[in-house]
Structure 1
Amino acid sequence: MNAQKNRFLPEQQLTFDPRGHQLTNINVWTPDSQWLAYDVRPSGGTFNGLTIEQVNCITGEIEVIYRARQGAHVGVVTVSPDMPAPLAAFIAGWQCHCLPDER
């Protein structure tokens, strides 16, 4: 049993913000296995996130790769496994194309 246990790296926390970092259940790693993509939601997990982010699992660097605008929300990000340029797909809510006082 010890031989099997030693095959894995110790668990390491990558993000520390007091908000939800939601992983989908498939294709969250970039093709180079260095970045992990997720959507950010306020604590509580309702579908009202504003950003899609990725964290570098080696350096801890965090990048915002998409920010919702005009009243839209985003979530459920997946990453293409194809190299060289990783592409992300996610659900984006409707955008309000109205005057600011009509929202």
Structure 2
Amino acid sequence: MTNQKPEPTADELHALLDAVRDAIAIPYAATIGDDETRARILADRVMHACIALENVLDRDDEPGWTVEYLRARLAEHPPTGYRHWGETGAGR
């Protein structure tokens, strides 16, 4: 008898991809000065998304738990603290 984990379901993988998209799809900075803050926030969020993907792909972690963990890390690094396009009306 083996203790092999079941393959992730399509729904689990979709939830993981959705969380990764949420990690990287943050609003563009409205000005060059705001871009530094955005870049720092984005770098943190990308790092956590990469860790989540590595955990599922390389360590066979369960996608459901990984999605919850990633969303908790993203909540620690919200895309706030800089002016972005939708906020300033830039580009209209």
User: Shared fold (TM-score greater than 0.5)?
Assistant: no
**Structure number with higher helix proportion:** 2
Q: Give the alignment's TM-score, normalised by structure 2.
A: 0.22
Higher relative contact order (Cα pairs below 8 Å, separated by 6+ residues): 2
